[in-house]
Structure 1
Amino acid sequence: MSKKVKIQKPIINNILENIDDVADTIYEKEAIEDSLIENININGIEDVKVKFNTCIFKNTTFEYCNFKKSDITDVVFENCDLSNINFSDSGLYRVEFINCKLIGARFDDSVLTSVTFKDSICKFSNFAFSKFKGVNFEGSDCQSSVFQDVINEKLLLNSVNLNKSVFTGMKLSDVDFTNCSIEDIELTLKDIKGAKFTVVQALDLTRLMGIVIQ
């Protein structure tokens, strides 16, 4: 039986400080806390472990940013472009990505606890070898993304495009794929035990058993 994990929303303070010089703040303090960042570009940040705590990013573009081994807690990214960002080997706790662009984003080897991806483009994103402790994808495009060898304690899917995505080595018991698109998805028979599929999806997955239906 899968563990019961509640997906919690970010806890955001009522009063946040507006910050414009984000790069300088990160390099000086290695942290952004209790802040509202909006309508700016954040460019070329690397070689620094960052702590994001109680923040809202709105209409923000991240370019050439490497946030590997960062700590991200109680943060909302809304209408942001985080394509090709590197969050690998990081901890994300109570984080929301709403209407964001995350093409090629890296979350590999990370721990994601109470993380939501809503109405976002996550094509070619990498979650390999991560740990999911309450992760929700809703109305998002995750085509050709990699979920290989993810330790899954709770994954929720609602109207997600998972075509050509890779789920090998990830236990999918109790995961509901029934309202998702899973054309050419990569997984194995042992991993899908207990997962939920429509009849049409299940017929397509008979290819895993080498069965030819005529």
Structure 2
Amino acid sequence: MSTRTIRRTSVTLPTLDEPGLYLSNVTSLEGGRGRLSEFQYTDADLRALDLADTHLLDGRVTGLRTQRARLDEVRVNSVEFTGCDLSSLHWSTSKLNRVVFRDCKLLGATLEDVTLDDVLFDNCKLDYSTLIRVRAAGPVIFSACSLREATLTATDLADCLLDDCDLRQTEFAGGTYRGLDLRGNDLSRLTGVTSLKHVIIDRAQTLQLAEALATQLEVTYGEDLDHQ
């Protein structure tokens, strides 16, 4: 199995090029009896996508664009999403295992009560997104992603990794982050610093966290008063 490794964190990727595995072109993600396997779904432009109680297994979703998407109780195993625009997505009560999101837009997306295990977000835009009680049951990597003004509420990202991400006004509103690797990011403009207990950073990032905390506390610097 192929993997994506950054520093100490490795994500196992979908296995879609194995001998004997043939992906059939499909025109819908709604499989028979709630299961769709060994599929390829390409260049769909939808007004709305609604999936519930569905299992997606061994497939590629490429160039999917939707104005509104709602996924509930959708299990995803060994699937790649590439170049998709899933802005305003609401994804709830689901499990994702060996899943890749590459070059995808998830602007304003909401992930609620979603479990992630071996999941890679690569060069994705998650600006203004909301993660509520999202739990990492295995390794998760956000690489070169934008999470500007995203909010993470009661999220468990222990032992996961964010690398080269835009974290301007990203809010960590409670949750579990022990072992979360934040090296390689500018932390000076994130909020909710006190939630980030036991994370991994470089020593040089200590000043960035201090700047973020000072902004959050709305402190006034004495030297500024002296020059008034």
TM-score interval, smaller chain: 0.7 to 0.9
Query: Equivalent residue for 2:3?
Result: none
Matched residues in 2 for 1:96 and 1:46: separation?
A: 20
**How far off its partner does 1:86 sit?**
1.9
Matched, 1:15 2:32: no
Calculate the TM-score normalised by the size of structure 2.
Answer: 0.80
**How far off its partner does 1:56 sit?**
0.3
Find the residue that maps to 1:163 and give its secondary structure: coil
Per-residue CA deviations over 1:45-66 (Å, capped at 9, x if unaligned) read 3363221111101112133221
Matched residues in 1 for 2:176 and 2:56: separation?
A: 30
Contact kept in structure 1, 2:68 and 2:86, CA below 8 Å = no
The runs of 5 or more residues in structure 1 that have no matched partner are none
Greater RCO, CA 8 A, separation 6+: 1
Matched, 1:51 2:61: no
Matches within 5 A, 1:27-46: 28-46=32-50
Find the residue that maps to 1:49 and give its secondary structure: strand
Matched, 1:185 2:190: yes
Q: CA RMSD in A?
A: 2.5
Matched residues in 2 for 1:79 and 1:194: separation?
A: 31
Matches within 5 A, 1:31-180: 31-46=35-50, 48-132=52-136, 133-180=138-185
Contact kept in structure 2, 1:27 and 1:48, CA below 8 Å = no
Calculate the TM-score normalised by the size of structure 1.
Answer: 0.85
What amino acid sits opposite 2:117 in the alignment?
T
Per-residue CA deviations over 1:10-49 (Å, capped at 9, x if unaligned) read 1225311011x206xx175433210011122244233632
Matched residues in 2 for 1:69 and 1:108: separation?
A: 11
Q: Which moved more, 1:116-125 or 1:33-42?
A: 33-42
Identity %: 16
Q: Which moved more, 1:120-129 or 1:27-36?
A: 27-36
**How far off its partner does 1:183 sit?**
4.2
Matched residues in 2 for 1:42 and 1:52: separation?
A: 18
Q: Which moved more, 1:189-198 or 1:87-96?
A: 189-198
Larger Rg: 2
**How far off its partner does 1:199 sit?**
3.8
Matched residues in 1 for 2:118 and 2:111: separation?
A: 14
**How far off its partner does 1:188 sit?**
4.1
Find the residue that maps to 1:70 and give its secondary structure: strand
Contact kept in structure 1, 2:127 and 2:150, CA below 8 Å = yes
Count of residues in correspondence between the two structures? 208
Matched residues in 2 for 1:179 and 1:6: separation?
A: 16
